[in-house]
Amino acid sequence: MKLVVIGGGPGGYVAAIRGAQLGAEVTLIEKEKLGGTCLNMGCIPTKVLLHSSELLNEIKEAKILGIEVNNEVKVNWPQLQNRKNTVVNTLVSGVSTLLEHNKVKVINGTAAFEGKSSIKVTKDQGESENIQFDNVIISSGSVPFIPPIKGKELEGVIDSTGALSLDSIPKSMVIIGGGVIGIEFANIFNSLGCKVTVIEMLPFILPPVDREISEILKEKLKKDGIDIYNNCKVTKIENNNENLKVSFEEDNSKLNIEAQKVLIAVGRRANISNLNLESTGVYIEKGYIWVNDNMETNIKGIYAIGDCTGKNMLAHVASDQGIIAVENIMGKNKKMDYKTVPACVYTKPELASVGLTEEQAKEKGIDYKVGKFPLIYNGKSLIMNDTEGFIKIIADKKYEEVLGVHILGPRATDLITEAALALRLEATLEEIITTVHAHPTIGEAMKEASLAVNKEAIHMVNK
């Protein structure tokens, strides 16, 4: 069976490897670097910068832990960029090795459909070749969405890709967009000494996140020196001497802020315009490729995964979708479950979430109850001198099934996997409570939060 995968990102390369494992003859087409946005311009490089910025903050606060740094602590931006590139190249090389080991044929070039069973691949030198397939998986990813703001083309106005490759740390930056991308970059550049202002159109930051947690994180970011404007619409960007001036409206007021750089981070859109999908009859819905829960389009044998479907634009979702698609191609019947997908925001403190928020539980008319355990009462958090935040658990009132878990605090992005597994297994509070949690760990707070739902937490006063 001939399987073609278009795009070598976290969805595409995982699908290619799994397809080869199951016996398919796999060809992967990638126009740029293996690893896609995630490895090259997204998840990985941003977390490298974030880790260094967090380390800088820890060094500055080390005195309370008994560590004194006598010399001035400086940021070596070129070295930070070098390390980022080293980490990225190491992971990209690893993906290449895995594909080679699994006998996946990799072609560097741009893919375009020529009907429902053929693809034309155009290579860098201009030559092309036609590839026939039995099944194809489209994993073409996404690109930054740039809204029609006057002045968006000015020098100094950048997107997330540009923010990762700046020559130096700017003295000031305005970030348009208070979603995950915008808030993570705000956290990074603020920690590195840049004055950051975030302008968000909605009345809150991080729209999908449990509202209580997003509001607490917002106040923490403001306390750290980040200015955040909500309910605002940017109207134009213009040059003003050596800076850029961003004009925006708040209620009936007209405001403006100057900065060296303006980062537009209002979301991403599907990267499908050059695929010639018109020749296939594949249905496009609101700019994204329509797929069912088997990851198949309306055309038999043509599947799509990852950002280009607009389902849930996360790297780990794309990888899972890739496996679901391949296994269905190879004769199994697998469906994608989005209810138990964890989401992470790499800020200080970290934020992670899975399942229903309180707002969603109310909208669905679910009779629920909530337990919260503040990390100030957790021994490991105290040891780390990192006690901001809490774990919040939402459970069904009647059967006490866990419906949602929301974490704000250290290692939240690691802890959330336990919560995702709990939801996947339809676990009850009792099953989390009777699971022995190691001590001292931040993970103990998951058990305490479960106990707190019924006001039975051990290590805090229940109210």
Q: How confident is the model over 238-272, as pLDDT tens digits?
A: 999 899 999 999 988 999 999 999 999 999 999 99
Residue 316 labeled ligand binder: yes
Cα–Cα distance between 244 and 195 in angstroms, integer? 14
Residues 75, 384: Cα–Cα separation, whole Å: 23
Structure tokens at 434: 């009777």
Nearest CA-CA partner of 315 in 16, 23, 40, 21: 40
182 is in an annotated binding site: yes
Encoded amino acid at 262, one letter: V
CB atoms under 10 Å from CB of 215, counted, come to 14
Q: How many CA atoms lie within 13 A of 358 on its CB side?
A: 12
Q: Is 439 a catalytic residue?
A: yes
What CA dihedral angle connects 80, 86, 92 and 94, to 10 degrees?
Answer: -130
Q: What is the pLDDT of residues 427-446, one digit of tens each?
A: 999 999 999 999 999 999 99
Tens of pLDDT, residues 206-247? 988 999 999 999 999 999 999 999 999 999 999 998 999 999
Of 51, 101, 406, 439, catalytic: 439
**Token reading at 290:** 């329509």
- Establish whether 183 is an annotated binding residue: yes
Residue 357 CA to residue 407 CA, distance in Å, equals 11
* Residue 184 marked as a ligand binder: yes
For 77-106, write each residue's pLDDT tens digit: 999 999 999 999 999 999 999 999 999 999
Q: What is the pTM of this model?
A: 0.94
Pairing of strands 142-144, 243-250: unpaired
Bridge partners (DSSP) of residue 257 are: 246
Give CATH 3.50.50.60 domain extents, the chain: 2-144+269-329, 157-266
Q: Which fold has domain 2-144+269-329?
A: FAD/NAD(P)-binding domain (3.50.50)
Burial category of 384 from C-beta neighbours within 10 Å (exposed 0-12, middle 13-18, buried 19 and up) = middle
CA-to-CA distance for 312 and 236, rounded, in angstroms?
A: 30
Closest C-alpha among 348, 318, 361 to residue 37? 318
Q: Where in the chain do CATH 3.30.390.30 domains reside?
A: 343-452
d(CA 181, CA 183): 6
Tokens of 95: 């993906």
Query: Does CATH place domain 343-452 in 3.30.390.30?
Result: yes
Please report the pLDDT score of residue 67 as a whole number.
Answer: 93
pLDDT digits (tens, 9 = 90+) for 167-198: 999 999 999 999 999 999 999 999 999 999 99
Q: Which CATH class is domain 157-266?
A: alpha beta
Burial class (CB in 10 A: 0-12, 13-18, 19+), 43: buried
Percent of the chain exceeding pLDDT 70 equals 100
At residue 124 the predicted structure's pLDDT band, cuts being 50, 70 and 90, is: confident
What's the token pair of residue 349?
Answer: 């403190």
Average pLDDT, the chain: 96
Say which DSSP state 279 is in.
Answer: G
